[in-house]
């Protein structure tokens, strides 16, 4: 076993997901299969190889710091599930 049910529940918490008992079992079994498959990477010799993060030669892409038009408050809030007084509204965070 690469990953236990407890670890699956912990990773789910990190990812802000929650599963039923049945889902946890299914995910544990499937994630184990997938992680077992990943094991084959250990056969590749990567000594001294720089990790590759993306495929082009670009490094930092800067632009000038100029004031430009941006989304209006109204359009920014148009899709909000809940809003009040020009702000996004969420359930209470602290008692």
CA distance 51 to 1: 27
63 binds another protein, rule: CB under 8 A: yes
Tokens of 74: 């109204």
The Cβ of residue 73 has, within 10 Å, a number of other Cβ atoms equal to 10
44 binds another protein, rule: CB under 8 A: yes
Are the beta carbons of 37 and 3 closer than 8 angstroms? no
32 binds another protein, rule: CB under 8 A: no
Query: Which residues lie near another protein (CB under 8 A)?
Result: 3, 7-8, 11-12, 14-19, 27, 30-31, 33-35, 37-38, 40-42, 44, 46, 49-56, 58, 61, 63, 71, 75-76, 78-82, 88, 90-93
């Amino acid at each position: 076993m690469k990953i236990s049910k407890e670890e699956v529940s912990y990773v789910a918490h990190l990812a802000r997901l929650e599963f039923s008992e049945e889902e946890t079992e299914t995910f544990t079994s499937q994630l184990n299969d997938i992680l077992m498959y990943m094991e084959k990477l250990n056969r590749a010799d990567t000594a001294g190889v720089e990790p590759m993060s993306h495929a082009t030669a670009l490094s930092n892409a800067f632009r000038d710091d100029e004031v430009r038009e941006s989304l209006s408050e109204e359009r920014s809030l148009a899709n909000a599930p809940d809003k009040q007084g020009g702000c996004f509204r969420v359930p209470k965070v602290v008692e």
